[in-house]
Amino acid sequence: MASKGILKNSASSRMPPQGQGAAGGKPPPAPPSAAAPTVVFGRRTDSGRFISYSRDDLDSEISSVDFQDYHVHIPMTPDNQPMDDDDVTAARAEERYVSGSLFTGGFNSVTRAHAMDKHDGAGAGRRGGGKGAGACMVEGCDARAMRDARGDVVLPCECDFRICADCFADAVKAGGAACPGCKEQYKNTEWEDLAGGEVTRALSLPRGPAGANGGHKMERRLSLVKQGNANQGGEFDHNRWLFETKGTYGYGNAIWPQDGADDDGAPAGPGHPKELLAKPWRPLTRKLRIPAAVISPYRLLVLIRLVALAFFLMWRIKHQNDDAIWLWGMSIVCELWFAFSWVLDQLPKLCPINRATDLSVLKEKFETPTPNNPTGKSDLPGIDIFVSTADPEKEPVLVTANTILSILAADYPVEKLACYLSDDGGALLTFEAMAEAASFANLWVPFCRKHDIEPRNPDSYFNLKRDPFKNKVKPDFVKDRRRIKREYDEFKVRVNGLPDAIRRRSDAYHAREEIQAMNLQREKMKAGGDEPFEPVKIPKATWMADGTHWPGTWLQPSQDHARGDHAGIIQVMLKPPSDMPMYENIKEKSPLDFAGVDTRLPMLVYVSREKRPGYDHNKKAGAMNALVRASAIMSNGPFILNLDCDHYVYNSKALREGMCFMMDRGGDRLCYVQFPQRFEGIDPSDRYANHNTVFFDVNMRALDGLQGPVYVGTGCLFRRIALYGFDPPRSKDHSPGFCSCCLPRRRKASAANPEETMALRMGDFDGDSMNLATFPKKFGNSSFLIDSIPVAEFQGRPLADHPSVKNGRPPGALTIPREMLDASIVAEAISVISCWYEEKTEWGIRVGWIYGSVTEDVVTGYRMHNRGWKSVYCVTQRDAFRGTAPINLTDRLHQVLRWATGSVEIFFSRNNALFASSKMKVLQRIAYLNVGIYPFTSIFLIVYCFLPALSLFSGQFIVQTLNVTFLTYLLIITITLCLLAMLEIKWSGIALEEWWRNEQFWLIGGTSAHLAAVLQGLLKVIAGIEISFTLTSKQVGDDVEDEFAELYIVKWTSLMIPPLTIIMINLVAIAVGFSRTIYSTIPQWSKLLGGVFFSFWVLAHLYPFAKGLMGRRGRTPTIVYVWSGLVSITISLLWIAIKPPSQAANSQLGGSFSFP
């Protein structure tokens, strides 16, 4: 059984004990066993041996040698770790306790810490350890082995005996150039030759301009490595010994002297090298405009088509069809709406742009030694990554585990990364699968770093259809890959066996409890004798591996253990790593050789927020807000990346590319960086436009040229304070006007408002309400959370390395290590994920993810843009993230239904773009207005799809005659549409087939899911009927025999009825039209041609839908044909009843044809 401890949830638990550290207080007496640290004095002889002096030896030499006290400060480096004091040791013990405990709590319950039996893997999360694999192997020396400019270990002897530069110099000078390992003579004793002539300087510094004098002098001044061979004879160089790390880390000397310092060493204060100050400033990102040869004709065609549409509609209104006024009226209304929706969709596309990042500049600015950062530690801000899941049955835990592994292996400073998994279902299966993933990460993450693996999702990597050995040059790659593949197969077997293991374990524990209860009842009956025997009823609990009840959802739901009724849970799976690289310990047995590979892992936290009956949980938005609060207390990364459980990191450098935008000049005004969604497992023809490339590569690029792309729910890097509801540091109002990129307006000079330079401002509140004392009304009563807000704001600022950078932070401010976790911090995190925390606060209203819509992502992004924030669209050369999409027709329609329903909710809410503030640009407002309006196009689209059939049935057309004017307008509109599509394909890079698939599914979704969304939205607004959706099932890609089996499965849904009815009625109408025209005495081929042409236009768009209904072998449900046939017959009979055929029409038919 696990031990349990009760923690008081208060800030006082973080205060030091009374009397400790207080003024006038005395430190507690040290225990007898704790001896004071002693200092060993000694010297190194000419032969290289280190001889220590005892106290008697020192006393005997004091009379003959004069000693002078001096103090030397050696900076902390990986080779020089100062001795931990008692406070640090206690803090690390507390951190081990936190990482090994499961914290639970919530409403009317005490926060408890359940100590878990946890076994760390080899090297997982260690802050210390024995001699690393890259350390010197000389006895008594723990310095770092010699390395070349690339960081590879230099082995001067064939016996592979690692040795540091000092020991190597001593061996060459006093040891006869003999290897301390094998005692053989070194074949080469020159350091430059051993390092390949590339280590003549400590760092690879950028050269000055061509032809500049003093370039080599600069290299000599910034390096101390050349001094290794300068003192070949004489006594040991103590200065070089003491200040060796200062020469190895940073720009040579620890302090750069100011010009004019005395030769006698008079202090002149620190300074900066002129060569570094003269270095040109380079931006992190570049804006790539679309070539004028493409964008200018594109804008001209938009104008031409707009004018042609206006003249066409005017001509159509003036020329009525008196023979079929009803047909003409319906067509005019539909065409007016289509023109209006086309304008809303086309105007935001006038300013598309592309962007590019420079990762080398990011590394140079944030991870290269500078005078402000001599050690070269990463100065990048932290990132908290959120992964959300809710149901392990529909979202397989193996998919989620692979996503977690790809995040832990991302190419970003380990100490700046934290991953939070939100399990909204509170399932033990998800919890134990994450524990298995954390254990397997000890092998997978170092393997990815050692061999530069891409992608870093193990399932995707081992299923690659290309040569996995391409560009791999390390000789042990094949062996390592074979071993890690076997380990991953065993990992999959363990994860797939977890459901049965949990069920068997729970049954065994439940049987034991029942037996104990029955024995206790029998004993009571024997003692009393009068009590009747009743069957024992014990709730069937779900048990953890340590023999305790799972505090979350049980397999058989019970009170306080159901999906909507369970306590809050937090478990630190992987504790925060140290801020210094950690290499594998030689003494530890590891299946793979990770010599010289950093084996640290980012922090991994399992979170399941508290749920209780009577409290609105707000679905995914509520889960995201709970993670925002918990992460602010535990890690407080200034940036947040959210991913769905089936979207993994495909490009390990994606986080760095997103950070380029946030850290660039003006990046403090960016609320988020949105990455495009890319999908795997889609059929080659992309039958249902699952890739959605027209939206992600056309619309989103165009919005990037305005105020920024919309937030699409996953793959988005947020600025934390933007989620908190603050305004950007420098925001301005946008007066009504047109696109500034097409018709630029003259900027009016205005005085700067002092409040606009404030970093934390909320335009929704009065100035008096912006003091910290009133923040609990907005963010809740957690003082930890409120105190973290200004810290996150400061850490998220770009570097103040250029005069044009406003609201920046000094370089080197984020190189300090983060605070260790203690129990009080986790207890506070438990309180902020409780079900009652958001009551009477602004969470979900102005703060965090916004509630009230099934598409909370679009609403959240809209609120940020409405405050004046900007966003950026980051398209990387290698896809940043990849996920899965439903390839089944029914699942795809339900997905589109959810999106469209959210848009209808937005249209009927206060988030309608018609009510946007003046801080939103005009074209951005039009784009958001189109987001809320596009589902209503389905009403007019369905009517327009029936018009060709009605025309063929009635023998009339939307115009009285197909004259030259009508055909000319139609030709101009069609040609301009095709030319616009070609130019969009040109500047966006999509394929023509993708554009056509998008057009087809636009009509399929518009006649099915969009119509249902409008009806559901109206029912919610008028009748108050709430809308609920189920999770889309994610498939595990283990079925290699039939990868696209889901594509051919036909599932019945009422959404199929309207498109299938349209298909059948148009087919019947074509047959009727042909038969009428052929057997007519006066054939009217023009009306037949117009009706048949538009019918074929409708059927061509619905072809993927019809093909999907056929399945693989025609397995369409009979009910589909029955309903569609009944609807078709009903409409036909209704039409005949309304307008029966006249006698004149019957007389026109030839007498040779008659029905039997």
**Active site residues per annotation:** 424, 857
Which stretches of 840-918 are assigned E, i.e. beta strand? 870-873, 881-884
Write the DSSP assignment of 8-35 as a string of letters.
--SGGGGSPPTTSS-TT--PPPPPTT-P
- Binding-site residue set for UDP-alpha-D-glucose: 388, 394-395, 424, 619
Distance, CA of 724 to CA of 850 (rounded, Å): 11
CA angle 128, 134, 137 (to 5 degrees): 100
Point out which residues pair with 603 in neighbouring strands. Answer: 418
605: enclosing H helix or E strand? strand 603-608
Checking DSSP bridges between strand 603-608 and strand 639-644, what pairing results, if any? unpaired
Q: How many Å separate Cα 385 from the centre of its chain?
A: 6
295: enclosing H helix or E strand? helix 292-318
Point out which residues pair with 809 in neighbouring strands. Answer: 799
Distance, CA of 265 to CA of 247 (rounded, Å): 19
384: enclosing H helix or E strand? strand 383-389
Which positions ≥6 away from 1106 have C-beta within 8 Å? 1063
Distance, CA of 913 to CA of 246 (rounded, Å): 58
What the block records as the tokens of 614 is 């009577």
CA nearest to 499, candidates 436, 576, 419, 580:
436
Q: Where are the alpha helices (DSSP H) in 347-471?
A: 359-366, 397-408, 428-451, 458-462
Find the length of the chain: 1156
Cα 61 to Cα 43, 66, 190, 236, 631: the distances in Å are 14, 9, 38, 20, 60
- Binding-site residue set for Mn(2+): 620, 644
Point out which residues pair with 185 in neighbouring strands. Answer: 178
Cα 468 to Cα 158, 451, 679: the distances in Å are 31, 11, 21
CA dihedral 806, 812, 817, 819 (to 10 degrees): -30
What the block records as the tokens of 1096 is 């074929």
Backbone angles phi, psi at 84, to 5 degrees: -70, 135
- Binding-site residue set: 388, 394-395, 424, 619-620, 644
Which positions ≥6 away from 782 have C-beta within 8 Å? 629, 633, 828, 831, 832, 837
For residues 883 and 647, the answer to whether their CB atoms sit within 8 Å is yes
CA nearest to 1068, candidates 1123, 1148, 1128:
1128
Distance, CA of 456 to CA of 233 (rounded, Å): 52
Q: Where are the alpha helices (DSSP H) in 1102-1142?
A: 1103-1110, 1118-1138
Cα 329 to Cα 326, 333, 943, 978: the distances in Å are 5, 6, 11, 27
CA nearest to 170, candidates 134, 140, 131:
140
Distance, CA of 698 to CA of 842 (rounded, Å): 35
CA nearest to 817, candidates 579, 576, 617, 981:
579
Distance, CA of 706 to CA of 739 (rounded, Å): 8
Which amino acid type is present at position 447? F
Cis peptide before 280 (omega within 30 of 0): no
Q: How many Å separate Cα 846 from the centre of its chain?
A: 22
What the block records as the tokens of 1143 is 């006698």
Write the DSSP assignment of 823-834 as a string of letters.
HHHHHHHHHHTS
